[in-house]
């Protein structure tokens, strides 16, 4: 368990070795692939799991492996899953510790939003709060189409903490990334965020079709 309450289960296995991620980044040696088999985020009790599944399936184009009223498991590739699981009232309170003795167990349980006007651009771009909570990074193939689907739901986000902010489609294509914060049900957007969790959505490919510099693959995956 780390200082923020994240529980890690460490195992040694060759079952999940992914040859696609072997990179010649140190001379002629291949990097050692440390695998995170699953990443689980807790949600408040009664969270709309079907809505979370629809968000990932319809907006981020990720396959759903299973979904019920308490848990949704999402495929992040052939050897990795992302899981959202409802908390239980009998559990120790799960949420983001802001460092001041408070802890949330609601839609904001994984964000730490702060007003920092000095970090927002002084122009026509919208104002966003800085997020100091955790974020996850995912790679996708079609950054333009994915961004447009997220923008249509008004869930795109720019974190003022970082230099690359990508406020529009062309900046997204140029920077090969965008962020979103709110997970919403595409079939009931008016209900608002089911859960807030910062996503850094990265493109596998640059605009010219070559691999993006931090892409973890030697070749672009198909599909």
Taking residues 35-63, report their average pLDDT: 92
In tens, the pLDDT along 106-128 reads 888 888 899 999 988 777 888 99
Please give the Cα distance from 192 to 197 (Å, whole number).
13
β-strands 80-86, 113-114 pairing: unpaired
The answer to whether 69 touches 155, Cβ cutoff 8 Å, is no
The dihedrals phi and psi of 213, each to the nearest 5 degrees, come to: -60, -35
**pLDDT top residue among 69 and 216:** 69
Please give the Cα distance from 195 to 48 (Å, whole number).
9
pTM greater than the 0.85 cutoff = no
In tens, the pLDDT along 70-95 reads 999 999 888 789 999 998 644 444 44
As a three-state string, the secondary structure of 119-179 is: HCCCCCCCCCCEECCCEEEEEECCHHHHHHHHHHCCCEECCCCCCCCCCCHHHHHHHCEEE
How much is the pLDDT for 121?
A: 79
**pLDDT top residue among 69 and 221:** 69
Task: Extract the tokens encoding 120.
Answer: 């927002």
How much is the pLDDT for 208?
A: 75
Is 215 a residue whose pLDDT tops 80? Answer: no
Confidence of residue 53 (pLDDT cuts 50, 70, 90): very high
């Amino acid at each position: 368990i780390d200082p923020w309450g994240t529980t890690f289960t460490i195992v040694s296995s060759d079952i999940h070795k992914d040859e696609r991620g072997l990179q010649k980044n140190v001379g002629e040696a291949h990097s050692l692939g440390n695998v995170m088999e699953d990443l689980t985020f807790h949600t408040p009790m009664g969270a709309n799991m079907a809505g979370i599944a629809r968000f990932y399936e319809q907006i981020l184009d990720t396959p759903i492996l299973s979904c019920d009223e308490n848990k949704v498991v999402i495929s992040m590739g052939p050897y990795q899953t992302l899981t959202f699981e409802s908390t239980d009232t009998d559990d120790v309170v799960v949420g983001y510790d802001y460092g001041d003795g408070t802890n949330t167990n609601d839609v904001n349980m994984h964000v730490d939003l702060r007003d920092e006007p000095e970090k927002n651009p002084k122009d026509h771009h919208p104002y966003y709060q800085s997020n100091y909570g955790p974020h996850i990074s995912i790679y996708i193939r079609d950054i333009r189409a994915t961004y447009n689907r997220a923008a249509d739901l008004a869930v795109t986000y720019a974190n003022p903490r970082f230099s690359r902010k990508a406020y529009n489609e062309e900046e997204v294509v140029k920077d090969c990334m965008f962020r979103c914060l709110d997970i919403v049900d595409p079939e009931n957007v008016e209900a608002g965020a089911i859960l807030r969790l910062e996503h850094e959505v990265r493109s596998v490919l640059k605009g010219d079709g070559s691999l993006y510099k931090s892409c973890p693959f030697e070749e672009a995956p198909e599909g």
